[in-house]
Amino acid sequence: MSDRKKFLWIAGFFLVFYFLPEGNERVAAGLTESIAMMSDYAREHVLLCLIPAFFIAGAISVFISQQSVMKYLGAKAEKWIAYSVASVSGTVLAVCSCTVLPLFAGIYKRGAGLGPATAFLYSGPAINVLAIVLTARVLGLELGIARAIGAVVFSVVIGLLMAAIFGKDEAARQEEFAQFPEEESGRPLWKTVTYMAGMVVFLVFANWAAPKTPNSFW
């Protein structure tokens, strides 16, 4: 960034705070509410959603071999297998549009094709079990089923479009992954399964709480 742009950014922030009408009730209330929302986000969302998601993404990078990811989600894998796995694997994860990003980055860096990874990125927040049950409970079973089917179908369509648009870049990327030596892991399978299952269970159940009303389902 050039010195001129830095100066303009500094000057812009200065002018915003200089002319900020702090005496205005609406402005004061807005600032108070924004700080309260950030505090709630840090306490509830970051600690209970984002941090477990980062741990799961780290586990994908460390515990799951690159060959396994490329076998089922790579660009050269069978499309029906890759997109089927990617589009429905978010069912067991209680992830939102923010929490799914570290997981997407984890599988993408381990060799997943752009298409399947994008399908997972799109469908994960929409088809997790909590979202589907809540939708079916509040809006009806038909809409709950329609949400699940629609999310899977559209995620596959979007994934295929991304793979087609960035096909050349993706082919070069997959060639680089193919040149990497095969990884050897001396870690027992049960350790990997236990860790991943523990993180998923924590991610799903960390936000469960007693309903605020006696007859509430959620």
Closest CA to 155 of 200, 130, 125: 125
Q: What is the pLDDT of residue 42?
A: 80
Q: How many other C-beta atoms can be found within 10 angstroms of the C-beta atom of residue 162? A: 20
CA atoms of 100 and 157, how far apart (whole Å): 19
Give the model's pLDDT for residue 161.
93
Question: Which residues of the chain, if any, have pLDDT below 50?
Answer: 218
Q: For the purposes of burial, counting CB atoms within 10 Å of the CB of 85, is it exposed (0-12), middle (13-18) or buried (19 or more)? A: middle
Is residue 129 within 8 Å of residue 161, measured between CB atoms? no
pLDDT at residue 157, rounded to an integer: 93
> pLDDT at position 21, please?
82
| Among the listed residues 66, 61, 91, the one whose alpha carbon sits nearest the alpha carbon of residue 77 | 66
Residue with tokens 């989600």: 73
Model pLDDT, residue 181: 59
- Token pair listed for 54: 């980062």
- How much is the pTM? 0.67
- pLDDT, residue 156, reads 92
Rounded to a whole number, what is the distance in angstroms from the first to the last CA of the chain?
A: 48
Q: Where are the strands (E) in 4-116, listed by range?
A: none
